[in-house]
Amino acid sequence: MTAAILVAMPQELEVIPGISEKDPKERVAGIDIYELEPGLYACAGGVGKVNAAMAAEILCLRYAVDLIVSAGVAGCTRDSMALGSIMVASEFVQHDVDTSAVGDPPGLVSTVNRIVFPAYEPERCLSAAQRLDSQSRLGRIATGDWFVQNGDRLWEVFGRFTPLALDMEAGAVAQVCYRNGVRVTAIKSVSDHVFKDEQLEEYANYSRALAALGTVLIPFTKEIMGSAHKSERKGQTT
């Protein structure tokens, strides 16, 4: 079982214990790939869907990973979740894909002709997260190339897709993984509440969210790797 942690920003990568002491295994297309231990890699692909998709494809094809964990900080639609709380993906959508002018439903991704992209065993991933942070919650992640702010556009996205989290990468990673037959999950730490007037002030101080992410990211990833490996072995013997 090989896996990779894929984040957007260097600050998110730096929460991984000991990574600052490591040299990249290699640089591909401007992306530094780190080997945390045999079979476990990590990289910061850059902000936005294209950057995320590039990094995910490199991990799928060059490193032949079995699992990608899309990780980082993200906006939350539930004011009841504290800053730094952990959100686990139940599934993924891309809220900014819209070819409705030619009759498609909003969010339909052409070529694969899907709106919703699956996450790897959501309940199992939630259980793993809750053992590390009992306040972790499961929900849909909606992705788009837009830093979300309150207003008509946000209410339209929320009404259409009812996400728990909004980010700029996970949905693109899920699309790449779907096409490559690679498992994908996402673990996001609440950096801001998108419906609050104080959203930008919260995001400007997302160090709390980063610290929370750093506490759970490696244990979460290793537990999911282990459970996926056990499932593979069980499948081979039945």
Find, among 177, 110, 176, 107, the residue nearest to 142 by Cα: 107
Q: Which pLDDT does position 89 carry in this prediction?
A: 98
Q: Is the pLDDT of residue 207 over 80?
A: yes
Q: What is the C-alpha to C-alpha distance for residues 168 and 228, in angstroms, rounded to an integer?
A: 26
pLDDT tens string 124-135: 999 999 999 999
Q: Which pLDDT does position 166 carry in this prediction?
A: 98
Q: Is the pLDDT of residue 237 over 50?
A: no
Q: How confident is the model at residue 228 (pLDDT cuts 50, 70, 90)?
A: confident
Q: Is the pLDDT of residue 238 over 50?
A: no
Beta-strand relationship, 67-76 and 165-167: antiparallel
Mean pLDDT for all residues in the chain? 95
Positions marked catalytic: 12, 192
Contact partners, residue 179, CB within 8 Å, separation at least 6: 112
pLDDT tens string 127-172: 999 999 999 999 999 999 999 999 999 999 999 999 999 999 999 9
* Whole-prediction pTM: 0.94
Q: Is the pLDDT of residue 21 over 80?
A: yes
Q: Catalogue all structural domains in the chain, each as residue range(s) with its CATH number.
A: 3-232 (3.40.50.1580)
For residue 157, the SS3 value is helix
Q: Which pLDDT does position 11 carry in this prediction?
A: 97
**Residues 184-202: what's their mean pLDDT?**
97
Q: What is the C-alpha to C-alpha distance for residues 36 and 51, in angstroms, rounded to an integer?
A: 21
In percent, how much of the chain has pLDDT > 90? 95
Give the number of other Cβ atoms within 10 Å of residue 111's Cβ.
Answer: 7
List phi, psi (to 5°) of 38: -55, 120
Q: Is the pLDDT of residue 66 over 70?
A: yes
